[in-house]
């Protein structure tokens, strides 16, 4: 077997995932040994099902207990059908409302059916895997990000899916393990925006409810169902009960994640040496947690109040209706290339415009403008660097040249959105449309430019994960549950060591001249005339080594 084969014995699975566009897969040997080592370290981690959680989920669903985001076993009832006489008596507007209501409920029931099917697949799979040691073969996308190949249950699933898993190899909690369980419990409940000390205090003040949740999850007071991530919180309650009963010798199996503060904006702040942006995203040294989403929310409210005074009706409609939840998704997706139209759709689709008077599209357009202005004021280097990467992509695309760069993990990355040729094929079951890349047709300039910034950022956060895993492995950590900007291992000493390492590796990546390095790589060492990188600030990147809340 070669380094690029594996994952499964009987199914051929490529290590580098591609879609219609091959991108990096065009290259002969794009993955570095460091990247391969990290993939192997992650997929060598043994897991097992958390049977206690699985049994509670099954019991609650079987008894029709619609708690903790479990789907109802029953459809929403449709409105009673009107008789012909009743229908004829309605106005056109009333008929349209009746039709829209039925369509809305049909849509809700279709989504409910999908959630039921997903849950039942998870439960069925968990039952088949009970008492077995599990491994999750990993693939990487063309930017280097790691993904587990199995679906339904894996360490990158939603709250319910992740809670069904724990490390197969346990470790004693030790003297620091209980502290990390407190932090994890508070974070999953929704208390992740306060200091570590306040999280521990909150958890201990609610210890009685935590223990009741662990001992009587369905027959007790059900405090755990109020959590933001109820199943993750319940799994933590169970571990805490083990600690209460056995002390520091308790063998813990629960992955404890450390999460970035909007990873994309952290990366852009580091690249641009942006002191203000680094402070808002917890890259700067400090023992006070900054919540970027709250900061942006406050700024959006200020902008809306200013515009309302200037006579903007749309701004007036938003007053009193802007919350942290309103802005969070938009802020998270901005570094990854969400367009203005995409932001508008987010505000409408997520229901933020539902309670407002006036036209939804106009309200969404106003909030898009306000959010963009707010983020640019908070993370000042982000838009400048993203625009520069777009300009580089355009300049290369005009000469039909792809973007090529090497990430800090040594992986070679190619972004090449070649124009596609559409072919229609007649089959026995109707017409099928096939798309095929045609490099001779040249590069799609628009797609190449729009995707440049998000793909570079994704490749750099992947490199951070890879370098962190490899150093952690060399430091004696063997168990990993990794998501792109959320790194998990055992509570206790392993979590402390991992926290130190991820800061050190971030520092090593950005301590030099990352924008200058990118310019050199994208220009093929000056073979192509590209715009010069934007000027950078004076932020000292070594401050990240002293940032308590960089990942937390």
Which residues participate in catalysis according to the annotation?
259, 328, 485
Burial of 72 (0-12, 13-18, 19+ CB in 10 A): middle
CA gap 220, 214 in Å, rounded: 9
Token pair in block for residue 268: 């852009």
Sign of CA dihedral 38, 43, 48, 49: positive
Give the ranges where 382-444 is alpha helix by DSSP (H): 382-397
Token pair in block for residue 324: 């942290």
Q: CA–CA distance from 94 to each of 87, 90, 91, 99 (Å)?
A: 9, 6, 5, 9
Task: Write the CB contacts of 550 (distance below 8 Å, at least 6 apart in sequence).
Answer: 260, 261, 266, 282, 283, 502, 503, 506, 544
Nearest to 157 by CA among 53, 241, 59, 62: 53
Question: How far from chain centre, in Å, is Cα 468?
Answer: 18
Q: CA–CA distance from 112 to each of 65, 100, 190 (Å)?
A: 15, 18, 25
E strands in 16-175: 16-17, 47-49, 138-141, 146-148, 165-167, 171-172
Task: Bin 497: left if φ > 0, else alpha if -120 < ψ < 50, else beta.
Answer: alpha
Task: For the chain, give the longest Cα–Cα distance.
Answer: 78
Checking DSSP bridges between strand 146-148 and strand 138-141, what pairing results, if any?
antiparallel
CA gap 512, 271 in Å, rounded: 9
CA gap 210, 216 in Å, rounded: 10
Token pair in block for residue 59: 């019991």
CA gap 184, 238 in Å, rounded: 12
Please report how many Cα atoms fall inside a 13 Å half-sphere around the Cα of residue 276, on the Cβ side.
Answer: 10
């Amino acid at each position: 077997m070669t380094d690029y084969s594996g994952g499964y014995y009987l199914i051929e699975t490529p290590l580098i995932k591609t879609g219609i566009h091959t991108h990096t897969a065009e290259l002969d040997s794009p993955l570095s040994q460091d990247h391969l080592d990290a993939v192997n370290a992650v997929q060598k981690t043994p897991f097992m099902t958390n049977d206690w959680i699985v049994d509670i989920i099954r019991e609650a669903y079987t008894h029709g207990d619609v708690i903790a985001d479990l789907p109802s076993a029953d459809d929403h009832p449709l409105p009673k059908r009107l008789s012909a006489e009743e229908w004829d008596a309605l106005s056109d507007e009333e008929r349209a409302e009746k039709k829209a209501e039925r369509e809305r409920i049909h849509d809700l029931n279709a989504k409910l059916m999908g959630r039921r099917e997903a849950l039942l697949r998870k439960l069925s799979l968990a039952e088949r895997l009970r008492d077995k040691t599990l491994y999750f073969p990993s693939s990487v996308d063309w930017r280097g990000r790691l993904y587990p190949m199995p679906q339904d249950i894996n360490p990158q699933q939603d709250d319910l899916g992740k809670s069904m898993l724990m490390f197969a190899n346990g470790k004693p909690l030790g003297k620091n393990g209980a502290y990390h369980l407190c932090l994890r419990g508070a974070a999953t409940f929704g208390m992740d925006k306060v200091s570590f000390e306040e999280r521990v205090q909150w958890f201990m003040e609610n210890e009685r409810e935590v223990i009741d949740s662990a001992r009587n999850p369905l027959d007790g007071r059900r405090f755990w169902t109020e959590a933001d991530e109820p199943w993750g919180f319940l799994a933590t309650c169970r571990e805490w009960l083990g600690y209460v009963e056995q002390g520091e010798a308790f063998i813990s199996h629960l992955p404890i994640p450390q999460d970035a503060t909007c990873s994309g904006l952290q990366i852009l702040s580091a690249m641009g040496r942006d002191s203000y942006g680094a402070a808002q995203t917890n890259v700067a040294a400090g023992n006070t947690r900054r919540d970027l989403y709250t900061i942006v929310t406050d700024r959006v409210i200020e902008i809306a109040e200013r515009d309302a005074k200037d006579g903007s009706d749309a701004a007036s409609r938003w007053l009193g209706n802007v919350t942290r939840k309103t802005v969070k998704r938009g802020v998270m997706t901005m570094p990854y290339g969400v367009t203005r139209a995409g932001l508008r759709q987010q505000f409408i689709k997520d229901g933020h415009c539902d309670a407002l008077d006036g036209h939804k599209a106009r309200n969404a357009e106003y909030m898009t403008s306000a959010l963009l202005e707010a983020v640019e004021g908070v993370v000042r280097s982000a838009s400048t660097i993203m625009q520069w990467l777009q300009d580089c992509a355009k300049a290369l695309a005009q000469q039909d040249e792809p973007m090529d760069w090497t990430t800090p993990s040594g992986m070679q990355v190619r972004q090449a959105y070649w124009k596609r040729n559409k072919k229609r094929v007649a089959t026995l079951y109707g017409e099928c449309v096939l798309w095929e890349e045609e490099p001779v047709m040249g590069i799609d300039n628009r797609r190449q430019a729009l995707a440049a910034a998000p793909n570079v950022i994704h490749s750099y956060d992947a490199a951070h994960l890879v370098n962190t895993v490899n150093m952690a492995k060399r430091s004696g950590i063997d168990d990993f549950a990794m998501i792109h900007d959320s790194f998990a291992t055992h509570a206790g000493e392993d979590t402390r060591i991992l926290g130190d390492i991820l800061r050190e590796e971030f520092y090593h990546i950005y301590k030099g001249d990352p924008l200058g390095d990118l310019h050199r790589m994208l220009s093929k060492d000056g073979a192509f005339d590209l715009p010069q990188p934007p000027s950078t600030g004076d932020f000292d990147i070594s401050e990240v080594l002293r940032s308590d809340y960089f990942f937390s």
